[in-house]
Chains A and B, each alone.
Chain A
């Protein structure tokens, strides 16, 4: 299947600083990428849909000025957590869809996640 990578895999930062997380589709192009957040023992919650060359679409309750998304190319989307606070500590996962020939279906693939800890 298709591969999605994320960098860094974990980051610790001080409160008030900004953190950038990169998401790359390694062997396919993705006009759309998705950013999820997962708190311990909870499921993945979609934060925003990142669209190449245009503005991201944010889910209700997600502050677009706090979580800046840039989808500069067909293989790279970045999520910047601005002025991070301890409550932003979470597991951030990106995802992209690719056509699976075997399934004759678009399948959604996920990155390995980025663990953010804000002190």
Chain B
């Protein structure tokens, strides 16, 4: 069966450090992978999309890598700030629907 796993339910890091979140998938052949941010009581907000033929994508302090051999995506936030504290979700587009991982709750400590 298809699975999307985000290995850490929660991650605490110190302000200024780089946060690295992992997303692994099985039984998918995605054309692209997406990362979303979700704050408590709010809907997900789109952050980045990376295609299967792209190794890396950057946007300001965010960086995403995509390894289709390992079936893994890494999501990095550099120079992290307390305002980056949120739950981060990876998502894959299957046959017709977007399926989400369970998310990693990131807390950036001041």
Contact A111 B49 (CB under 8 A): no
**A12 part of interface (Cβ distance < 8 Å):** no
**A34 part of interface (Cβ distance < 8 Å):** yes
Majority secondary structure of chain A interface residues (helix, strand, loop or mixed): strand
Give Cα distance in the complex from A103 to B46, angstroms: 12
Tell me the number of A-to-B contacts counted with CB atoms below 8 Å. Answer: 47
Majority secondary structure of chain B interface residues (helix, strand, loop or mixed): strand
Cβ-neighbour of A103 out of B49, B99, B101 (below 8 A): B49
Closest to B103 in A: A43
Contact B44 A44 (CB under 8 A): yes
Please report the total number of B residues contacting A with Cβ < 8 Å: 20
Give Cα distance in the complex from A43 to B33, angstroms: 16
**B100 part of interface (Cβ distance < 8 Å):** yes
Chain B residues close to A by CB (< 8 Å)? 32, 34, 36, 41-46, 49, 89, 91, 96-103
